[in-house]
Amino acid sequence: MNHDDSKHSNSGPLIGKLSESLEDYIEIIYNLIKDHKVARVRDIARAKDVKMSSVVSALKRLDSEKLINYEAHEYVELTPAGEDLAKRLMRRHNFLARFLVDVLQVDPEIAESDACQMEHAISAETMNRLYDFARFVRADIDDFSRLIEDFKKTYDSGNDKRG
């Protein structure tokens, strides 16, 4: 998996160059198209829990950035650059959520919420280090599950002392 966002400048905008809100729109559009084959303004508004006028403003901005194709009263389509960005954002999100749950033993609901926030804020360098660390741990430790169990025990005993 190529995970270096800094090497994607020729294939689309770097993660973090758009606002968090616009990145969320890209992800929502991607998921709507993946799940329902189309993305409509009203569906995007419902998914983001905003007014349709806010969606239209965001879509115009994303269209001007060449990440989507948008015309009033039409379906929203991702451009190749928009789809590339959406896939990279989703990879970051999914990796962070899995890392928080599988490695740090964070409750899945909390991990999902935290991953949403982290994916927009974390630098490409730090993200790459997390990927590399996770790959290293899985490849170079004979019993990964034992390591996680040891961490959980250490974490749990530390909480007992704090509580």
Which of 85, 109, 136 is the C-terminal boundary of a domain?
Answer: 85
- Total domains in the fold of the chain: 2
Distance CA 102, CA 156 (A): 15
Distance CA 13, CA 10 (A): 8
End-to-end CA distance of the chain: 41
pTM, rounded to two decimals: 0.76
Domain holding 116, by residue range, is 88-162
Do residue 72 and residue 99 come from a single domain? no
List, in order, residues 6 or more apart from 70 with CB less than 8 Å away. Answer: 59, 60, 62, 63, 76, 77
Do residue 9 and residue 58 come from a single domain? yes
Q: Encode pLDDT of 40-49 as tens digits.
A: 999 999 999 9
Q: Encode pLDDT of 92-130 as tens digits.
A: 999 999 989 988 889 999 999 999 989 888 888 998 898
Tokens 């993660």 belong to 15
Best-predicted range by mean pLDDT among 1-5, 25-29, 148-152? 25-29
Which of 59, 85, 111 is the C-terminal boundary of a domain?
Answer: 85
